[in-house]
Amino acid sequence: MTSRLPNCRATGIGSTPHADPAAALAFVLETFPEIPFWPQLPRRAFRESIYAQFSEYLPGLHIDDREERIWIELGAGWTEHAEAFYAAFLTEDPAQFAPSSAHAAGLYELLQHDPLETAWALKGQVLGPVSFGLQVSDQDLRPSMYDEWMYDVIVKNTLRQAQWQEARLRTICPRTIMFVDEPFLSMFGSAFASISRQEVIAALEEVLAGLQGWTAVHCCANTDWSLLLETSVDILSFDAYEYAENLALYPDELRRFLDRGGMLAWGVIPNTGGVAETVTLDQAWQILERDLQMFERKGFQRRELLPKSLITPACGTGTLSVPTAERVMMLAKCLSDQVREEYRLHS
């Protein structure tokens, strides 16, 4: 590992459409040799879907694989299960929260790999507590985060899952980047999410503060970006194809974030619709150029931004066909190579 700055290296967001963990990991290692990630495989099994994947230790959890449903039963017996959860949490042993291979086959495929001596960093990911709490309901179809005790359990489960994953990834590569994926932060401030700014920040900070390496928060929709910029996160990962203009509306908060050492992961390559099948490398370059010019008009210099940047797809590729997903990820790598060459970001 040389430079501490990412210098526009490329990585992926998490999910891929592969069913075979070995094939998925082989593609990731070939495409993103400097910052590989473990592939989440939602098409392999429902338990690898984003909300089921990190849930198996939650008290009251019910997973119906046939109906592809997940919910929390907060009725009789829940308190006893919650007490057992807290007892495990208080041991401070993250291994008690390790996901099984049925929930994370791609992660276990990576953990069998020899140390990645040529990798600059290794990326992991967990689902954030806010998105889980808003999207996974209780037996009465009420978001589980609206039960105060259950929400605390969700946050602490996320923390231990992230800590275990980070520790294991460090055995393969000493520099890690743990992404906390929060797709439904887009609901913050709307009539559909009754949660305060302070509650969101406190939940994220409990997770971020418990990690040793770099941290990132990924939101692939629009949100109140000032909220995320206010946290201690190291990397803000966003859909630059769709929402760079929205992030640029917060120049003061972004300036403070960058000045304290914050970095940006630019999701330049679109991952939805026909555009994912047709976007070219030249068009991807134009998207990034458009965004950089927009930020320059806000007082930022690209020579400052680019060393503190990563290049990624806009979001995960798990909903795409395998050829399209591989195309999107390869374009992110090719754009990264082109930008690094153009701006001599070789360290």
Q: Are 115 and 168 in contact (CB under 8 A)?
A: no
Q: What whole-number distance in Å separates Cα of residue 156 and Cα of residue 168? A: 19
What is the residue whose two structure tokens read 């700014």?
Answer: 197
Q: What whole-number distance in Å separates Cα of residue 130 and Cα of residue 135? A: 9
pLDDT one-digit tens code per residue, 66-108: 999 999 999 889 999 999 999 999 999 999 999 999 999 999 9
Domains and CATH numbers, the chain: 9-342 (3.20.20.210)
Q: What whole-number distance in Å separates Cα of residue 233 and Cα of residue 236? A: 7
Burial of 29 (0-12, 13-18, 19+ CB in 10 A): middle
pLDDT one-digit tens code per residue, 261-295: 999 999 999 998 899 999 999 999 999 999 999 99
3-class secondary-structure state, position 36: coil
Strands 263-269, 122-127: pairing is: unpaired
Tell me: pLDDT of 190 over 60: no
Tell me: pLDDT of 1 over 60: no
Return the closest-CA partner of residue 5 out of 327, 325, 305.
305
pLDDT one-digit tens code per residue, 300-315: 999 999 999 999 999 9
Q: What whole-number distance in Å separates Cα of residue 337 and Cα of residue 347? A: 13
Tell me the average pLDDT across 108-121.
94
pLDDT one-digit tens code per residue, 121-157: 999 999 999 999 999 999 999 999 999 999 999 999 9
Confidence bin at 16 (pLDDT 50/70/90)? very high
